[in-house]
Amino acid sequence: MPLNDLVEANAILPALRVTTKKQALQDISDRAAEISGMSARDIFDALLQRERLGSTGVGGGIAIPHGKMPKTDRIFGVFARLERPIDFDALDGDPVDLIFLLIAPEGAGADHLKALSRIARALRDPGLTSRLRATRDASGLYLLLTQTTASFAA
């Protein structure tokens, strides 16, 4: 599943200014709501519920918060590059500056897991993450995320 199937050009936050994990999740939920028409509060609550199970900060400055929503019929994402890294309770203890939110329908099952795997694989590439960190505009970030997908196919 290529990343261009998961993220649209209007789902990129190139310079998110937040100081806490909660604030980051709220701002990203707001963008996800704009894209999907769902309630930002419902998205935020689903993300918080998932975070209570364990941090989605996967290490290396990357977090992949995710949740399942009953009011969507498609898997989609929002990507944020933070102005400054924040504490995200990541597995390695490092602060996070790249966040890829993933929302899936409640019944997505294997497709949800494939999408998470695809995102994690792509963001494990140090070349891609360094280019994402160096890029300051939404269109450049979108191109990086959607044009470098071939070698990460699930």
Q: Per residue in 25-59, pLDDT tens?
A: 999 999 999 999 999 999 999 999 999 999 999 99
Has residue 1 got a pLDDT over 70?
Answer: no
Predicted pLDDT at 15: 96
Q: Which CATH superfamily is domain 3-148 in?
A: Mannitol-specific EII; Chain A (3.40.930.10)
Q: Which of 93, 97, 65 is nearest to 84 (CA)?
A: 97
Buried b (16+ CB within 10 A) or exposed e, 51-61: beeebbbbebb
- The 10 Å Cβ neighbour count of residue 108 is 19
Q: Is 112 labeled as catalytic in the residue annotation? A: no
**What is the pLDDT at residue 149?**
46
**Residue 67 bridge partners (DSSP):** 103
Domain boundaries, the chain: 3-148
Whether pLDDT at 153 is above 70 = no
Q: Where does the chain show beta strands of DSSP type E? A: 7-16, 57-59, 62-63, 66-69, 76-86, 96-105
Question: Which residue out of 21, 31, 66, 118 is catalytically annotated?
Answer: 66
